[in-house]
Every structure is written in C-alpha cells, then in structure tokens.
Structure 1
Amino acid sequence: MAGPVLEGKAHRKLRPGCGAARLAPRYEGRPHVSGIAEGGADGHRIRHFIGGQWCDAVNGRTHPDHDPWTGEVLAEVASGEAEDARVAIEAAHAAFPTWAGLSPTDRQIIFLNAATVLERREDEVIGLLAAETGTGADFARNQITFCLSLLRQAGALAFAPTGQVLPSDVPGTRALALRRPVGVVGAISAWNAALTLTGRAIVGPMALGNTVVLKPSEEAPLVGGALWAEIFAEAGLPPGVLNVVLHAPGDAGQIADEFVTHPDVRRINFTGSTVTGRRLAESAARYLKRPVLQLSGHNSLIVLADADLDYAVDAAAYGAFVHQGEVCMCARRILVERPIAEQFTERFVAKVAKLPMGDPRDPATVLGPLINRWAVALMARRIEEAVALGARVLAGGTAQPPCFPATVLTDVPEEAELAFEETFGPIALLETVEDRDHAVERANASRYGLTGAILTGDTYAGLDLARRLQVGIVHINDQPVNDEPHMPFGGLKDSGWGRFGLGFAAEDFTELQWATLRDSPRPFSF
C-alpha cells in the first residue's frame, strides 16, 4: 500500500474549477429519493468536493454506483486517484490556520447548523441509505439518531478544556500542558453503516480544529461522502475544512498512499478490515504517522444459565442479524451454558427462521440485500466449507441473491473459516459451554477483541466476568451492537488501535505541547 517517499515533491495549485469557495451542485440533474426509488438516477454524477467546490476527477473518469437490491445504476461517480487526493490535501492544509483560529462559538454554530440540516433531510437520507447500501429504515434511523447526537455534542467539544496546569519544581516557573490541533487528518470510512462511520471519522477531528480529507468506501460514495459534504456546506463550513475524494473499486490504495506519504497529513483514521488496517499501519509507521484503527471483530455473546430465556433469544437474534449482519459489532459466536442450551437453541432457531428478507424499503424487512454479489458468494463458500468439515446448519444456509437468509450453524470446527474469520453477513455460530469460565476461555480464544456481551440474572457477577474478556467493549444484559458518540469505541488485539468517540478524540487528534511561563528572571550557573 505504501507509495514512494515524497522527496522534493512540489505542491501543486488547485486546478481550475476545483477549490474556489463557490458551491456547485453535487449532481447534474440532482436526484431526490423519489427519483432513485422510481427507476434509478441515470445521468447523475457524484463528484469530488475539494476546497468548497464540486469537481470531476483529474483523469475525467467515472464509475457506476449500484443499488444492491435492484442492481440499477444510481449515479456515475468520479474515479479519483493520487493526484485528486494531493489536491484535496493541499486545500485542507491551506484552510487549516483559519479554521483552527476560529472562535469556539463560530465552530459550534456550524455543527449545530449541520444537525438541523440532517434532521430536516431525515426521510431523504433514509431513502438514500436504502438505495445505496441496502439499509432498512430501522437501522437507518439509528444512524441518523447517532449522527444528530454526534453533531450536537461536537458543538460542545469546541468549548472543552484544551490543557492543564502542571506543578513544577523550578521556583518561579509555571508549567502548562496544551493541546492543539494536528493539522490535516486523512479519514477512511467503511460502507456498512456509512452515515455513522463517516460522521465519527470527520466530526471529532474537525471539532478539535483540524481539517479533513475524507475517502469514503467505493460502495457508499453518496451516503458516506458527498452527502456529508453537502450537509456541512449548507451549514456554513468554510471551504477546505472538509474535502471528499472518491475512487473506483480497486483504487483505494492510491488515495491511502497519498495520505501516508504526504507530509501535510498528520493523522489517519481508518475503519475497515484487519488485513487492510495492518497494511495501512505498517505503511504509516515508516513515516511516523499515528493511525487510529477500528478493524474486524469476531464477537461473542455469552448466555449464562440464569439469564431470562425469552429476552436472551430476542437479544441474540437482534445482535446477530441487525442490518443483515453487516455490522462489525454483530454477535458471530453465541456461547450458551449447558443447562439452558437445548431450550435456547430451539427458541432461537425458530425465531431466526422467520426473520423476513427482501427489499430494504419495505418496513417489514429485517434482512436486506448484502452489499454486492461477492459478499453473497463468500457467505455461501464459507458455509459449504464448514459443513464439509462437519458443521450442521440449523437455519438458513442457502443464498437467495441478492440476499442471504439468517443462518445458524453449530458444531463448527476450529479449522473452518467461519470459526476464526469475520464473516460480514447474517451468520451466527451456536456453541454450548460448560460454565462461565469455559465461556470466557472460548470468547478469548479469538484473535479479535472488539466487543462482547453477557446475558445473566446477576449483573454484578456479569461485570466481574466482563473484566476477564479481552475486548475493548462489553455490554451486560444487552447484545453487542451499541454505540454512542461520546463513548470510547475501539477494540483490542487484531480489532484495532485507539478509540473513536468525542470524549476521547483529543487523545488522538491533538498534539500535546509542554509550555512554561516565568514571572521573574531565572538564575543561571554561567
């Protein structure tokens, strides 16, 4: 993923038509939700947003953005490369001094304005999430609720303390630890919860006074990229503070290389797979850049014998199959204590087998389409492999493109990919454990450590158990799919480094500076 070292690289001026403060339309013949729902957005274009203006890729190329349910083309998307990222970085670098020097009130107003814009467009955004990422209305509303809270809390972050007074042993010296913004942040977001994951990638860094270049997933250039640019432009964000660079499938590495090698990018945050995150971290290390990484998960939900059985079944079904399992926090392995394992299995499988599947625009749908045909094929291949190795399918198991039914397997051997790799879809593995110690042992056997959950009748005992789990997040008497803007979201082991969350963003997106003041001359020895 790493590109060449920029030795003596000359910075380029913004190309004509891409960098002025004037706001141009994102689309030619801008589509609304109804236009997408009624037969696609043929002829529409989603473009870069750089320096406050919408513009085409340097190479002039585009690629199609597809609806995963209908297969129709929603729009043609700018196919950016390294040069586009370079121009965007330079725009962000130029905007940084003014944005960092803005008063807290001025920054707060922009974030509150953005919340107002998003709230006004809620119904439209729900439609766009369904059209581009197959998101059902319930999960779409969850994302909007999260992002409204994120934006409103970001307004308060502008007034958060930016340092502390430190004691000094030197007479007459007053010492301070000051936090200041780092500069340009490169943000790389994922498609599966595109609105939320992009929001948390850009809002915290900007609220702390940084400028951002965003590379959304090629699967969500609209709801994960251009939509946010449009919202902030209407909210009054100055040109260059947020820039969006889009790319075709297979070209993400060129944008990431530019983030890694360009000297003006001082931080990178990434949400995606562990494989890609590891490569990004290795590349960034060569340039002494600190990444924040939220990576894969293979999460366990532990059901203890004293849990309420009906609640446990409902919680496990939601935690495993919300948004057709395309959530990094989903329960991939359900560990049930032996005294209730048979009853739990019977009720859980019966509930899962009835989960409705189909059009994400239908309010009754629980399982919409997977993001693309490769995702469907991966589900089928891994299930076939597990069954060949001795696993049993208790529900689902057969692809119904573009969807995949809620699938439950048991007796999955350790060498099957389902047992140790994150399978981003509606698949849950059921396993019986002898006791709570055995449950912890099985949960901690994973190389991932993102999140986990414990269902029990004794919450205090559950907390003691939670402390033994090697995960960054754990929920007692809840399922594992939870997030709030101010919480320290992040994992351990192969699930990442650092924490997202406004309450902890300053630790990764500011520089800490030691400063001293003297109110009288200091004596020197010579």
Structure 2
Amino acid sequence: MKDYRMYIDGQWVDAASKNTFADLNPYTGEVFAMVAAGGKADAARAIEAASRAFPSWAKTGPAERRAYLLKAAAIVDRRKDEIMGIINEETGAAFPISIIQVMAAITMLQVAAGQITSVSGEMLPSDFPGAANFITRQPAGVVAGISPWNAPFILSIRSVVFPMAYGNTTIAKPSQETPVSGGLLFAEILEEAGFPKGVYNVISNGPGLSGEVGDEFIINPKVRRISFTGSTEVGRQIAEKAGKHLKRVTLELGGSDPFIVLKDADIDAAVNAGVFGRYIHQGQICMSSKRFLVEKEVAGEFTAKFTERAKRLKIGDPRKQDTVIGPLINKHQLELLQGQVDDAVKKGAKLLCGGKADGLCFYPTVLSKINRTMRVYNEETCGPVAPIIEVEDEKEALLVANGTPYGLSAGIFTRDMQKGMELAEQIEAGMVHINDASFLDEPHCPFGGMKDSGYGKSSGMAAMEEYTELRWISYQKTPKQYLF
C-alpha cells in the first residue's frame, strides 16, 4: 500500500483538512492506496496555482511545449509495465484495456504535441479603406478536467493534454474510485518530464466531496473551461450550473451504443467485433457496443456464434494476462447490472449465457427475445451484458438505433459500402464506425457525442475550438472618416 498526496503548484501536498481515504482494489477488496481527501479549499488552491502559471505557459514557445509533451510520451512508454500494473490493481482492468490505455496515451501526447503549431489565424479584408482584420486564436486560460473511473488513465489525459498543448493550464479531478490512475500517476510523469509548476494540478477528492470541488470549478471565474466525462445525469447538472456563470463546458457522457448487423454482413467479422466491443473492460466503457440490432435473416447465426464466443471468455483475476472479464468497479454497479438482467428475464428475455456474478466479476451475458419494456432496451448497461434485438430490415434497425436519448457511438456491419454510409449518415451519434465496433478511438479524430451523450469535441483539431478563444483584431492604417 502506498500513500498519495495531491499535486498542486508543482508540490505534493496534503488536503487542507489533512483527511485521507482508502482507494480499494475492486478484485481483492484490499486497500490499494491511501489518498489525500481534497475538498473546496484545495480546489481553490489549485485554481490559484494554475492561474498564476497561465501567463508564462501561454507565452512558452511551441517548440518548448512540444518537447515537454514528447518527453512525457517517452516516459509513459518507458514506464508502461508499471502503469499497466497500477491500472490493473486500482480499476480491476484486465490486460486488453490496460495496454489500450497506455498505448493510446502515448499516441495522444504525440498528437497533441504535433498540433501545437496548428493553432493559427487568418487575415481578412475590410470594406473600410486602409483597414485590415486579423483573426487570432489564444489559449482560454485555466481548464478543469473531470474524469471518470472506467478508463481513468486515458480519459484524464484526454481532458487536459490538448488544452495544455494550446497554452492553457490545467487541473484534473479524477473519480474517487481511481485517483491514482486517473490523475496522480500522470502528475508523476509530468513532474519527471520537467513541466513548469502550476501547468498541471490534481485534486483527489474524498467520498462526498466531489460536488464541492466541481462547484468550485464552476463558480470560480478564473476557471475558463470545464471538460467533463461521466454520466448524463451529472453532466446535465454541470451544464445547468455552468450556464448560470456563462462558462463553457465540454461534455462526453453516457451511451447506449447500437451495433447493427445487416443481412449481407460478414457474420464472423461482426461476431469478432461485437464480442470485443461489448466485453472489453467488462463492458464498462461509454462507447462499448451495448445494443445488438441484427436483421432477422441472420439473427440466428449471429446469436449462436456470438454466444459461443462469449461463453469462452475467461473471467476472474485481472492480473492474469489471459483474463478478459475482471471485476466491476464496485458493488453498486454490480447490483445495478444484476437488476437490469433480472428485469429482462422476468419480462420474457431468454438468458443464453451468464446472468450471474462471482464476487464483483459478472459472467459474460447474452440475452435474446428483447422487447421495449425491458430496462436493457431503454437504459445504458454498464457491464458485460449483450442484448440481441432482431429487426426486420435496415429501416427498423435505424429506428431502434435512434430510439434512445443517447447518441455517442455506433457500429454497422455490411458488405455494401453505400448502404453503410447512408445508414451512418442517419444514425444520431457523434461517431459511427462501418465494419467495426463502436469501441474505437483515434486521438487525431474528433471524439464526442450528441443528444444526451453530450456536446463538444475533446480531441483532434476540433478540440482547438473548445479550448481557445477566437478573436478579431482590426487595424486602421490610415485615418478613418466617421459620420460625425
């Protein structure tokens, strides 16, 4: 067990209250670490540190900022085995999602470094004689990133790395379930990389203190942007509060991501993608494939092959490299998921495999005979449960896919590229992947949803729109004639 303090203004510090909390390993139930329990006062202290650091960091040249980010990427690469071990112990992540997070973090740091010199402006003509218009971009200021527990290493990095690249200073607030892999570990990496003090700060809040830390981010005028990844319920609360203060937020929220299999699809390829997209990290990822919409003509074949694959997935100790299904993050998530499965079976769903748990490890589950009254049809399922819904044709598939408040990601399997594109254009989701799972991320592409899955893009060049200020500066080179 290790003790972790918060990282503020380049220093490792205790919470103002001196309180700590236990960070548990979800598989063993043992204490992984004791962590500083930060609150409102600590958030205010971090905001002050980031605000002081902002003028200098904003003026730091692009080559120097790029060097910092590339050094951080190299450190992540060198320490990847250690990082994967921490992710595994703190979050219950098996090898596949652990290595994905680490490799994605390296790429994301490199992509952000490459974007630094892409922050540019333009010169526009003027209708006034002797005048010129300059359109410029500048960093917004202090950016607060609030990240979840389900993929904490990569999602916390995503919330701050593009803002830092553009010249903003940052504060990370990880989930109380994953304070180390969700922020404190990255602070160690940036400290080793030599980042100036105050550019990156971390507040690890204790149980019951998340709201007051988040409220300080919203209320404090020195925070100019907030990036939030988490539930739709909390995201809506943040958006409402931020609106009162005219503060811009980027929201990446929940999803009930459809996976459509048309009758002309390569069924074996669809099964491979579907199993990966549903069961990676126990199905706890926001963009996991959560509803399988299969045309009736191939539903039997797809369901049989999918179920057989699901039954073979190894469940248990995430420290073993061949384990696929590790523990859910906590008892609350287990009870929620079990309730959704039990509700479906009670209302007529056929349980093809799974439907039970061993400790916090929920067996890979497949359900068929799904109808609209079931919770698995209408709610986000954050666990290894695959509801398979038969549809008559692609039109019904589209109606079912869009018949949810969410709109994060989607997958479509078809051999007809034109049909796939036509369907993709009509699906109400921020990201659609043809002949691939809904679980897909490339840091140079715009990541984000629509509808109740949020708004704003947190990566790619689109992130520049979120974390910089676009300004108009005019220059009158000769005296101007006014009306009076």
The normalised TM-score by structure 1 is 0.91
Indicate the residue corresponding to 1:477 in structure 2.
Answer: 435
Indicate the residue corresponding to 2:150 in structure 1.
Answer: 192
Q: Secondary structure of the residue that 2:183 maps to in structure 1?
A: helix
1:67 to 15, 25, 48: 25
Indicate the residue corresponding to 1:221 in structure 2.
Answer: 179
1:158–1:208 CA contact under 8 A, matched in 2: yes
1:324 to 267, 270, 282: 282
d(CA) in 2 for partners of 1:237 and 1:162? 24
d(CA) in 2 for partners of 1:210 and 1:234? 20
Matched, 1:160 2:118: yes
Q: Secondary structure of the residue that 1:517 maps to in structure 2?
A: strand
Q: 1:60-459, aligned counterparts within 5 Å?
A: 60-459=18-417
Return the letter of the residue paired with 1:397: G
d(CA) in 1 for partners of 2:267 and 2:111? 37
Change (3 A) 1:504 1:480: same
2:96–2:280 CA contact under 8 A, matched in 1: no
Return the letter of the residue paired with 2:206: A
d(CA) in 1 for partners of 2:269 and 2:207? 42
Give how far 1:479 is off. 0.8
1:162–1:180 CA contact under 8 A, matched in 2: no
Give how far 1:126 is off. 0.8
Q: Secondary structure of the residue that 1:394 maps to in structure 2?
A: strand
Q: 1:33-44, aligned counterparts within 5 Å?
A: 41=1, 44=2
d(CA) in 1 for partners of 2:182 and 2:153? 5
Indicate the residue corresponding to 2:422 in structure 1.
Answer: 464
d(CA) in 2 for partners of 1:168 and 1:385? 65
Q: Secondary structure of the residue that 2:363 maps to in structure 1?
A: coil
The normalised TM-score by structure 2 is 0.98
Deviations along 1:410-449, whole A, 9 cap, x unmatched? 2233232221111211011101111111110110101100
d(CA) in 2 for partners of 1:437 and 1:413? 17
d(CA) in 1 for partners of 2:115 and 2:108? 10
Give how far 1:122 is off. 0.5
Q: Greater helix share, 1 or 2?
A: 2
Counting aligned pairs with the same residue, the percent is: 45
Deviations along 1:173-216, whole A, 9 cap, x unmatched? 11011111111111101111111101110100111111111101
Indicate the residue corresponding to 1:22 in structure 2.
Answer: none
Deviations along 1:285-307, whole A, 9 cap, x unmatched? 00000110000000110001111
Give how far 1:345 is off. 1.1
1:198–1:225 CA contact under 8 A, matched in 2: yes
d(CA) in 1 for partners of 2:216 and 2:186? 22
* Aligned residues between the structures: 484
Indicate the residue corresponding to 1:6 in structure 2.
Answer: none
d(CA) in 1 for partners of 2:108 and 2:183? 17
Give how far 1:523 is off. 2.1
Return the letter of the residue paired with 2:8: I
Give how far 1:262 is off. 0.5
1:510 to 456, 464, 468: 468
Give how far 1:311 is off. 1.1
Return the letter of the residue paired with 2:371: P
Give how far 1:399 is off. 1.5
Name the stretch that deviates more: 136-145 or 114-123: 136-145
Name the stretch that deviates more: 183-192 or 137-146: 137-146
d(CA) in 1 for partners of 2:247 and 2:110? 30
User: What is the aligned-residue RMSD (CA, Å)?
Assistant: 1.0
d(CA) in 1 for partners of 2:438 and 2:340? 23
1:487–1:500 CA contact under 8 A, matched in 2: no
Change (3 A) 1:246 1:161: closer
Give how far 1:372 is off. 1.1
Give how far 1:502 is off. 3.1
Deviations along 1:84-109, whole A, 9 cap, x unmatched? 00000001001100000111111111
Return the letter of the residue paired with 1:522: K
User: After TM superposition, what 4+ stretches of structure 1 lie above 6 angstroms from structure 2?
Assistant: none
Structure 1: 5+ residue runs without aligned partners? 1-40
Q: Secondary structure of the residue that 1:85 maps to in structure 2?
A: helix
2:447–2:460 CA contact under 8 A, matched in 1: no
Q: Secondary structure of the residue that 1:449 maps to in structure 2?
A: coil
Return the letter of the residue paired with 1:133: T
Give how far 1:344 is off. 1.1
d(CA) in 1 for partners of 2:98 and 2:343? 33
Indicate the residue corresponding to 1:494 in structure 2.
Answer: 452
d(CA) in 1 for partners of 2:220 and 2:93? 35
Give how far 1:113 is off. 0.7
d(CA) in 2 for partners of 1:281 and 1:525? 44
1:498–1:508 CA contact under 8 A, matched in 2: yes
d(CA) in 1 for partners of 2:271 and 2:111? 34
Return the letter of the residue paired with 1:414: R
d(CA) in 1 for partners of 2:51 and 2:339? 46
d(CA) in 1 for partners of 2:172 and 2:119? 27
d(CA) in 2 for partners of 1:228 and 1:308? 41
Q: Secondary structure of the residue that 2:294 maps to in structure 1?
A: strand
